[in-house]
Amino acid sequence: MNFSVLSFIPNEKKSVLYKINDGNWNRLDADNKNLILSSLSPGDYNLFLKIDANYETKIKQIDFKINKPFWLNTFFLIYMSLIIIALLYTFYKYQIQKIEKKNQLLLDKVNLEKNLNQSKLKAIKSQMNPHFFYNALNTIQSYILSNDKKQAVSYLSKFSTLTRTILEMSEKENITLSEEIKTLGLYLDIEKARFDEDFSYEMNIAYGIDIENIKIPSMLLQPYVENAVKHGLLHKKGEKKLTIDFERILDSLKITIDDNGIGRQKSAELNAIKNKDHLSFATEAMQNRIALLNQYKQKNIAINFDDKFNKNERSLGTKVIIEIPITY
């Protein structure tokens, strides 16, 4: 507050006294013409000013009010309380949705892993089916009956090694390419004994492929090789040949399973006559497994079938092309 003091005598200086409400009188310097009240709480006040003199002087009263800060007003406090409650409720809902989403993702992952394991079991079933064991045991029996002990022992050794390998692979999610190639070789050697001398196979590995470190999903290739042998080559007359090529295309491993068998259409017709559904079971099981692998691993494993025909539309066999992203 600024004020002035009028005097009838020139250059006369008088001090000013002030008090607030019923407090004590306080003196201001004679040259001070303003009063600063910087620490008053909100409320109603009576300010009294008078000149310090030996005679009675008139007291000047000034009434004023200091309002509460807006953040202490009741309306503002209610408004802010509502905003805080709304924010807390929004945060609570967000956290609940976040937890529910996390739990749903975990549940989806569990279900996906469950389906993936079921598809893996189906893949094992398609490889270790009773027909395979029956045929293998018959072959061993034929060697024994023909007194070919050397062949019987060799065949039995390969058969037991393959069986053990398949069981060991069933516990692994991924295996090295060298393990897969070794398993395919065992399987084809066992199947080769069922044919006459007209069945041959070869596996070609392109230069630069690190078969000891590159990994692929376990139980992936053998069902397609089995289909080529049992449903493409078994019913073919004359020379039967199976070729498996491994090559690298950028960051993908390209595997080509090529046979010169009777083709998928003729094989389906024969299976329909014999009322066999093994081919459809194995193919469907593998397709489901690849779809689950692509979803679970977020990879893009691609399978393509190429039916080969000559100019007369006669089947020259089937080519299966599998592309797998390279992982180590």
Model pLDDT for residues 118-136, shown as the tens digit of each residue: 666 555 555 555 666 777 7
How many domains does the chain divide into? 3
Whether residue 38 lies inside any domain: the answer is yes
Q: Specify the range with the lowest mean pLDDT, choosing from 227-231, 254-258, 321-325.
A: 227-231
CATH number at residue 221: 3.30.565.10
Residues 169 and 23 in one domain: no
- pLDDT tens-place string over residues 202-225: 999 999 899 999 999 887 888 888
DSSP 261-272: SS-HHHHHHHHH
Residues 231 and 303 in one domain: yes
Name the pLDDT band for 283 (thresholds 50, 70, 90).
low
Please give the Cα distance from 151 to 188 (Å, whole number): 15
**Residues near 162 by beta carbon (within 8 Å), at least 6 away in sequence:** 183, 186, 187, 190
288-312: average pLDDT:
80
Domain of residue 94: give its range.
71-102
At 164, the amino acid letter reads: R
**CB burial of residue 227 (10 Å; 0-12, 13-18, 19+):** buried
Query: So what's the pLDDT on residue 278?
Result: 47
Mark which of 50, 82, 102 sits at the end of a domain. Answer: 102
Q: Specify the range with the lowest mean pLDDT, choosing from 33-42, 56-65, 98-107, 111-120.
A: 111-120
Residues 119 and 76 in one domain: no
Residues 60 and 130 in one domain: no
% of the chain surpassing 90 pLDDT: 27
Residues 94 and 35 in one domain: no
Whether residue 7 lies inside any domain: the answer is no
Query: So what's the pLDDT on residue 1?
Result: 86
Query: So what's the pLDDT on residue 122?
Result: 59
Residues 57 and 90 in one domain: no
Residues 88 and 190 in one domain: no
Backbone region of residue 275 per phi and psi (left: phi > 0; alpha: psi in -120 to 50; beta: other values): left
- Decide if pLDDT at 302 tops 80: yes
Whether residue 11 lies inside any domain: the answer is no
- pLDDT tens-place string over residues 45-92: 999 999 887 777 888 999 999 888 888 888 888 999 999 999 999 999
Residues 222 and 314 in one domain: yes
Whether residue 234 lies inside any domain: the answer is yes
Residues 258 and 297 in one domain: yes
